[in-house]
Structure 1
């Protein structure tokens, strides 16, 4: 299944946020893959709106699996300072899911 979500990056931290994501820890990438996250992308608008896209068989299960990893706990702790509106929760537990309203299929 496809999932899309958004978060808000602090405008004054956007450059560093981008920098950090150009060098995501290999062990974090491995953990995401191992816990069912596929085709995972993040897009950042100039005002700090972050839009994420991920494919997974079961988002709740993928989130629970990644949450059990030590590397994710470290990554989320480091990333939390970049976001507004997460109220002390880890970013990966704070995103707002968007509803898919259209998808162009490969088939006619």
Structure 2
């Protein structure tokens, strides 16, 4: 958890600046600048990967609290499980999108270097 918290400022910088480097690198056709953007994007993907177990654990702990505090009835509990599972799966979907976007950018980068 500390490692994840320490990565937050780095990830925020990476996420905010990656696209700037990518766009400038593509428009100006400067491979090094584009590569910096890809590396910054990869930092964001790494952060999402580190965050996945934390989010699944949070959903699991929330379910324990919901049960323990009798926030939902026994009939509502299966629905609460589904909702918390769906919430955790949004992070999986975001991770998949980020990985595919990173792969797309890598392909663009490698193809632009061939020309």
TM-score range relative to shorter protein: under 0.3
Q: TM-score, normalised by structure 2?
A: 0.26
Larger Rg: 2
The structure whose residues are more often helix, as a share, is: 2
> What TM-score do you get using the length of structure 1 for normalisation?
0.27
Greater share of strand: 1
**Which protein, 1 or 2, shows the higher relative CO under an 8 Å CA cutoff with sep ≥ 6?**
1
